[in-house]
A = this chain, B = another copy of it.
């Protein structure tokens, strides 16, 4: 096996071949579109970590080996297990998509080995109808199930650049749908006619809840958005409310279109500053929400996968 140039190896084989002690010390990396985060895990505990803005879109294809080496310079020369957009066609080495329904074992068994015995990328998930893909969130979701943070049958909302609505059955992701809510807000904030109105910090306030209610009504968001600018120009909306109202509008439209008829708790997982907004918006929509810290879930998931190498 050690002579084989095959980039992927099956569960179990790698541990026997390398003997590099993944169970004791390894580096976990969550490498997304716009930033990356890395942890050195020793005996199941975080020993050192960092986060920076070197997302995959900021790195040329040829520079990934150097960007990976830099992580080892900072956290030590250990085996590395990575998840997220680093495994996409815009990343370093393309990892496959595990088709739904898929659970933790299904992704742990088809790692893409970027550097033999040393560096592996966890595959993403794909859903057939409507066509959809994810990379990174699956590690958090399976980690949360594994750690008992969420039940094996659950609806998960994972806000981020691309919000994911994920249905779990018996611990497997059975289907999911991506909504570009975070990216849309970012596009409007950075590049649109509304950009000078969307510079405030996002908060849960009356303007946010008004936006959520309007978004839930289901009219085209593209129509409602312009009224934010017109409302300020005509003195009918306060400029300082525009950020919160717009954020609420997009999140309300997202929720209204995705789970209007859901019954039961929604587990909102990810960065606390985003789960807070979605949990509040779900409350406005009459849904019960529980927030799950994405970092805790990610570490639980990647440790469980490392334990299978």
**A interface list, Cβ under 8 A from B:** 33, 89, 97, 126, 128, 130-133, 161-162, 177-181, 183-184, 187-188, 190-193, 218-223, 225-227, 229-231, 233-234, 236-237, 250, 253-254, 256-258
Contacts and interface: CB of A to CB of B under 8 A. Distances in A.
A184 to B, nearest CB: 5
B126 A227 contact: no
Contacts of A234: 97, 126, 128, 131, 133
A128 B33 CA distance: 41
A86 to B, nearest CB: 15
Given A126-B234, A218-B218, A237-B131, A254 B192 contact: no
Given A220-B257, A254-B222, A178 B131 contact: no
Contacts of A133: 229-230, 233-234
Contacts of A178: 223, 226-227, 230
A223 to B, nearest CB: 4
Nearest to A99: B234
Contacts of A33: 193
A33 B191 CA distance: 13
A222 B184 contact: yes
Contact of A187 (B187, B227, B256): B187
A66 to B, nearest CB: 24
A178 B183 CA distance: 22
A52 B132 CA distance: 41
Contact of A131 (B130, B132, B230, B256): B230
A220 B187 contact: no
A231 B219 CA distance: 25
B131 A220 contact: no
A147 B274 CA distance: 54
B89 A233 contact: yes
Contact of A257 (B180, B219, B257): B219
B221 A220 contact: yes
Interface centre among A178, A181, A220, A226 (most CB of B within 10 A): A220
A257 B253 CA distance: 13
12 contacts: A126-B230, A130-B227, A130-B231, A131-B236, A161-B193, A179-B220, A179-B226, A180-B223, A187-B192, A218-B218, A220-B254, A222-B257
